[in-house]
Amino acid sequence: MTQRYADGKFGDYGGQYVPEVLMPAIEELTDAYERYVLENEDGFMDEFRARLRDFGGRPTPTQYAENLSERYDREVYLKREDLLHGGAHKLNNALGQVLLAKYMGKERIVAETGAGQHGTATAMAAAHLGMPCEIYMGERDINRQRPNVFRMRLNGSEITPVTTGRGTLKEAISETMRDWATNVEDTHYVIGSIVGPHPFPSMVRDFHSVISTETRRQLREQTGGLPDAVLACAGGGSNTMGMFTDFVDDDGVELYAVEAGGSSLEVDEEAGVAPNSASLSTGHEGVLHGARTKILQDADGQVMESHSVSSGLDYAGVGPELAHLVDEGRVHAVNVDDDAALEAFHRLSQLEGVIPALETAHAFGYLEENHDELGETIVLNVSGRGDKDLEAAIEETEARDIDIAPSMAEFSGGI
Amino acid sequence: MRRAGSDLEAAFADGPAFVPYLAAGDPDYESSLAYVEALERGGADVIELGLPFSEPIAEGPTIQSAVVRALEAGMTPDRFFAFVEELDVDVPLVCMTYYNLLYQYGSEQGPRPFVERAAEVGLSGFVVPDLPAEEAEPLREACDEFGLDLVFIVAPTTEGERLHRNMEHVSGYVYVQARTGVTGAKDDVSEQTERSLERLADYDVPKAVGFGIKTGEHAERIVAGGADGVIVGSALVDIVAEGVENDTPTEAVAARLAEKSRELKAGAERGYAQRVPQAEGN
Residue B83 forms contact with A (CB below 8 Å) = no
Q: Where are the alpha helices (DSSP H) in A209-357?
A: 210-223, 238-244, 279-282, 320-327, 338-352
Q: How far is CA A413 from CA A390, A392, A408, A409, in A?
A: 15, 16, 10, 9
Which tens digits make up the pLDDT trace of B201-237? 999 999 999 998 999 999 999 999 999 999 999 999 9
Spatial separation of the C-alpha atoms in residues A121 and A94, rounded to whole Å: 6
Cβ of residue B274 closer than 8 Å to a chain A Cβ: no
Distance CA A143, CA A139 (A): 7
Identical fold, A19-56+90-200 and A62-86+209-400? yes
Which helix H or strand E contains A9, and what residues bound it? strand A9-10
Q: Which pLDDT score, from 0 to 100, does residue A62 have?
A: 98
Give B169 to chain A, closest Cα distance, Å: 13
The yes-or-no answer on residue B48 being catalytic is: yes
**Domain extents in chain A:** 19-56+90-200, 62-86+209-400
- Is domain B15-274 classified as CATH 3.20.20.70? yes
CATH of A19-56+90-200, picked from 3.40.50.1100, 3.20.20.140, 3.40.50.300, 3.30.365.10, is 3.40.50.1100
Inspect the interface and report whether the beta carbons of B54 and A19 lie closer than 8 Å: no
B64 touches chain A (CB under 8 A): yes
Tell me the pLDDT of chain B (282 aa) as tens digits.
334 456 899 999 999 999 999 999 999 999 999 999 999 999 999 999 999 999 999 998 899 999 999 999 999 999 999 999 999 999 999 999 999 999 999 988 899 999 999 999 999 999 999 999 999 999 999 999 999 999 999 999 999 999 998 898 899 999 999 888 887 777 777 778 888 999 999 999 999 999 989 999 999 999 999 999 999 999 999 999 999 999 999 999 999 999 999 999 999 999 999 986 655 544
Q: What is the mean pLDDT of residues A186-198?
A: 97
Q: Across the interface, do B181 and A21 touch by the CB < 8 Å criterion?
A: yes
Of A82, A208, A92, A86, nearest to A152 by C-alpha is A86
Architecture of domain A62-86+209-400: 3-Layer(aba) Sandwich (3.40)
Cross-sheet strand order for the sheet of A158-162: A158-162, A133-138, A108-113, A187-190
**ipTM score here?**
0.93
- Position A294, amino acid: K
For chain B, what are the domain ranges?
15-274
A340–B contact, CB cutoff 8 A: no
Using CB atoms, pick whichever of B59, B100, B129 lies closest to residue A288. Answer: B100
Q: For residue range A10-30, list pLDDT tens digits in order.
A: 999 999 999 999 999 999 999
